[in-house]
Structure 1
Amino acid sequence: MSSTATITTTESSSLHLSAENVRLPTPQEAPRSLLQQVLVISQLFAVTLTASVIHGLVIAGLPTITKDLQLPASLSLWPSSRLPRWVELVGSLASGALMIGQGLAQNGIELVIMRALQGVGLSLHLASSVSIVTQLMPHGRGRNLAFSCIGLSQPLGFSLGLVVGGILIDTIGWRAGWYISGGITLFFTVIGLWSLPKSPAHQSADVLRNVRTKIDWVGAGLASAFMALLCYLLAILSADTSRIKTAESIIILCLAAVALLSFVAWVHYQSKRNKPALIPNALWRNTSFTSICATVALSNGVLNSMELFASLFFQEVQSLSALSASIRILPSLIIGILINLIIGFFVHRIPASYIVFVTSLLGAGAPLLMAIIHPSTTYWANAFVAQLLQPINADALFTVGLIVITNVFPDDTQALAGAVFNTSAHFGTALGLAVLQVISTVITEREEGRGKAEVKALMDGYQASFWIMFGIMVLCTGVGVWGLRGTGRVGLKRD
């Protein structure tokens, strides 16, 4: 299988802060002007947007980037991976600076390392976003729309990255996209210095002490070790599945299992002692929260895999240019924008379980259409409709999930729950892409061994992955409906 088809996200491995001890002044303590609210939401929107633009640039430019940097097949899976006030500013600054650094990368290893580090910066940004919005705006339509804007920034940024990436690759080169995105991110970081609400002076003075005493460094290390080992194992298997039998792979798998079990035991031990725990086990006792995290992980895994495999289908099976492939994925941008706006305005009128059920069923139609597509089928018959259905579920779930969190958790837990929710989405993306890539590689190698031409073997691998995606979306439907069955309507205005 072509090495350009091996790609995943490393952003999910980098939830390094526990936000449970962070609190912003409430709207009653410090009234916010409309201008400040607009600037804060714009800043959060722009930073998430540019991070998603980079993801789109990577997808559109995979073949070119892989050849230009001579990225080995075992590592080409990694480049696309993906306190509130100061956490947000540090995360935004790091993300912007590392975007520019990626544009300057001279080899694949440098790109991989900086993509992983950018994932840390983006996680800091996402972890703080929920707390900032909930403290800045009261319950009701305004907050719903704010969460919709943050949700909108991801599909909008990705689609822009696809289109801009296709244009840049065919004109001045892929690096320019990183420079532009990094510059925009740094600009909005400066905006955030003025607009983001400030914590009381005594909280700011305690930052260093809080870093030492209120962050679960052991839990962060165990979680990061688990994700790093798992993603690396899946990366090497996607290049050569026969390596699963080697001693190296077996050792990595065992170490990953030990890291996961140790993490669960450690956070339980910390919680019993009333000490900071990265992800307290008590969070998972809330059925609504657990189900929304599970569904967003499944949905995001399918969404990002659909984007990747559809792009590869257009480029490697139908032999289209990067720009032509990007244009064919563009309809998902329009639908993503519409879905986020609709959800923001009407989420409080419809029970959450109904939203999840309908959007999950529609989302399942996208991989189903691609699973039965033929290389010679006209774009308007299958692929176009698949692009229309592709973003519906993930975009709706992101907004619904953030609103559910603000409804079921108290203010001092919302930042932590929001961070876990965002990490679930990125974890699902990383794991979904990697697992589906391994499946696609196995099928492709098997068919090539039977004497099939390379393109036909690639198509068989892609179709097998699309069928798996369809099954995942059916599972997502069941989990979401069961878990949210008693939630009712969310995002209602409170007196």
Structure 2
Amino acid sequence: MAIDTPTTAPPLAAQPARMTTRDKLILMVLCAAQFIVALDFSILNVALPVLGDDLGMGQADLQWAVTAFALPSGGFLLLFGRIADLYGRRRLFLTGLALFALASVLATFAWNPAAFLAGRALQGLGAAVIVPTGMSLLTTTFAEGPQRERALGISGTLLSLGFTVGMVLGGVMTDFLGWRSTMGLLALAGAGVLAVAPGLLTESRHSERPRMDLPGAVTVTGGLLALIYALSTAAQRGFGGADVITGLVAGALLLAGFVVVESRAAEPLVSLPMLRRRTVAWGNLAGLITFSMMSTVVFLLTLYLQEVLELSAFRTGLVFGVQGVFAAVAGMTAPKVIARFGTRGTLVTGLLVQAVCTAALLGLRTDSGAWLALAAAAVACVGHLWAIVSYGVTATSGLPDGEQGLATGLVTSSQQVGITIGIPLLSALASAHITALRSDGASFASATLGGIRLGLGVDAAVVAVTAVLVAFGLRRAR
């Protein structure tokens, strides 16, 4: 395997016990980029009705404000992660930042739906570059051990916090400044990071340039695009549509074809032996589940607080603001927990805490429950952050720098696909149950709560089963 050229990090043996000032600045830049991308995932959620009225987008078309971003941001992650390994992580990271900032400007000043959706799609493409390259720069800058655990803890905290802050900030900015201010904020933030990053980051890449595995790139990118499109569309229209079914089938066939292609390629895009490593496989499964199920909890609780308890968007945002505070604390304490209990123990514990607190939400009622929602979601977020940090450490440990872009591409793909698949799957289940209860004569509030409880119950069960499987799988890996 080719050896990487020097990176911003010293060799593993020379890595100092504490971060230098330069290390801290590099971490701030990389985490700021991740935070901005996380903001973009949720900052428009509250603004969609206002945005639709302003641009003349119908209710059925508003899903594309989300889907146009989700498609490229999830579909191209693995490809750009590998390109970064081969042709330069710093170069690609800066290119992604520039594209994201310019796309945000286009979305800010969009004069019609087509211009806005083009801006959102380019934002998603920029995010697909920023996320894996930023993560691979982080894991190659900070050596395995306490430094990387601390860096991943901060990164994971800001990723989760960005999603929560985006929901709160989106509502406040839309009310006072209009929906365009949310896109303008992303443009300014992206430009700010781009101005600082070149002076701190140095280039790293393979010393040789192997051939790009074009068949592998086409099949995995096409498979992810088809899968994400189908699941994003299903969240709005259900799973019965012809385009949804076609997307699911095409995605499954393309991803199966990707496995066949990679098993025969001389220089594969994804090393199948790496995917067979238990730490990589079980770590990414845990990441997929913790992200998909926690994003679903946020969605179902938003529905509960606004539709059942009839809280305002601002008060709903405050509930999730508390969750964000707990996320920040959990992310900062995660490295200490890992040092005390190990990555496997922390990962399994985090998943179990998330599962138990999600199950506690089954006690929600139609006449009260805001405090239960606040407390259980906040503690669930602690387990969620422990799981995020420990799965990132698990899935990237023991690999050479030359595979870190691919490894972090897998990690971030787990995140993005997880965020994409959880909500449509469980919201469709909840919606079907709500419809059935309404047909039986239940009131709107009680039927909605019944659907939410079903979704939360399945959510908790999936996380609990995953915790058991990961505990067993990683025990054998040791």
TM-score bin, normalised by smaller chain = 0.7 to 0.9
1:441 aligns with 2:446: no
Structure-2 separation of matches of 1:301 and 1:405: 17
2:214 matches 1:217: yes
| Structure 2 residue aligned with 1:228 | 225
Is 1:288–1:487's contact at 8 Å kept on the other side of the alignment? Answer: yes
Q: 1:276 aligns with which of 247, 250, 268?
A: 268
Listed as ranges, the matches of 1:203-352 within 5 Å are 210=209, 214-241=211-238, 243-244=240-241, 246=242, 248-270=243-265, 273=266, 275-277=267-269, 279-352=270-343
Helix, strand or coil at the partner of 1:350? helix
Taking CA–CA contacts closer than 8 Å with sequence separation of 6 or more, which of the two structures ends up with the larger relative contact order? 1
Instruction: Name the CA distance, whole Å, in 2 between partners of 1:242 and 1:223.
Output: 23
Matched, 1:373 2:367: no
AA at the equivalent of 2:295:
N
Contact 1:98 1:118 in 2 (8 A): yes
Equivalent positions of 1:457-476 (< 5 A) are 457-476=447-466
Q: Kindly indicate whether the alpha-carbon contact (under 8 Å) linking 1:58 and 1:80 is maintained by their aligned counterparts in 2.
A: no
Tell me the residue number matched to 2:397. 407
More helix by share: 2
Task: Check whether the contact 2:395–2:407 (CA below 8 A) recurs between aligned residues.
Answer: yes
The 8 Å contact of residues 368 and 467 in structure 1, kept in 2 or not, is answered as: yes
The 1-side partners of 2:432 and 2:61 are apart by 15
In the alignment, the residues of structure 2 paired with residue 450 and residue 108 of structure 1 have an alpha-carbon distance, to the nearest angstrom, of: 40
Aligned-pair identity in percent equals 19
What secondary structure does 1:138 align onto? coil
Structure 2: which amino acid aligns with 1:276?
A: P
| Contact 1:233/1:252 (8 A) holds in 2 | yes
TM-score with structure 1 setting the length:
0.82
Following superposition, the deviation at residue 21 of structure 1 comes to 8.4
CA apart distance, 1:222: 1.8
Which of the residues 4, 18, 27 maps onto 1:41?
A: 27
- Unaligned stretches of 5+ in structure 1? 1-18, 489-495
CA distance in 2, matches of 1:65, 1:390: 32
Q: Give the Cα separation in 2 of the matches to 1:459 and 1:62.
A: 24
1:119-158 mapped onto 2 (5 Å cutoff): 119-158=124-163
Q: In the alignment, does 2:73 pair up with 1:73?
A: no
**Amino acid across the alignment from 1:231:** I
SS at 2:60's partner residue? coil
Q: Which amino acid aligns with 1:425?
A: Q
The 10-residue stretch of structure 1 (286-295 or 108-117) with the greater mean CA deviation from structure 2: 108-117
* Cα deviation digits, residues 133-158 of structure 1 (max 9, x gap): 33333344333222222112112222
1:14-33 aligned at under 5 Å gives the runs 23-25=5-7, 27-28=10-11
Cα 1:461/1:35, change in 2 over 3 Å? same
Separation (CA, whole Å) in 1 of partners of 2:452 and 2:434: 8
CA 242–264 in structure 1, closer or farther in 2 if over 3 Å, else same: closer
| d(CA) in 2 for partners of 1:451, 1:110 | 45
Counterparts in 2 of 1:28 and 1:424: CA distance versus 1, 3 Å: closer
Measured after TM superposition, the shift of residue 262 of structure 1 is 1.3
1:34-67 per-residue CA deviation (whole Å, 9 max, x = no partner) reads 3432221111111111122222323343444455
- Asked if 1 retains the 8 angstrom alpha-carbon contact of 2:438 and 2:447, the reply is yes
Q: Deviations over 1:383-420 (max 9, x none)?
A: 01222123223322222233234432122222211111
Distance between the aligned counterparts of 1:354 and 1:143, measured in 2?
Answer: 17
Mapped partners of 1:185, 1:66: distance in 2: 25
SS at match of 1:36: helix
Amino acid at match of 1:281: L
RMSD (Å), alpha carbons: 3.0
Secondary structure in structure 2 of the residue aligned to 1:243: coil
Give the Cα separation in 1 of the matches to 2:276 and 2:287. 17
Any residues of structure 2 matched to 1:81-120 within 5 Å, and which?
Answer: 81=70, 83-106=88-111, 110-120=115-125
* CA–CA separation in structure 1 for the residues paired with 2:290 and 2:58: 29
- Residue in 2 that maps onto 1:51: 37
Q: Which amino acid aligns with 2:39?
A: V
Q: Contact between 1:79 and 1:115, CA under 8 Å: does it hold in 2?
A: yes
Contact 2:434 2:451 in 1 (8 A): yes
Q: 1:329 to 1:134 in 2, by over 3 A?
A: closer
Deviation, 1:132, is: 1.9
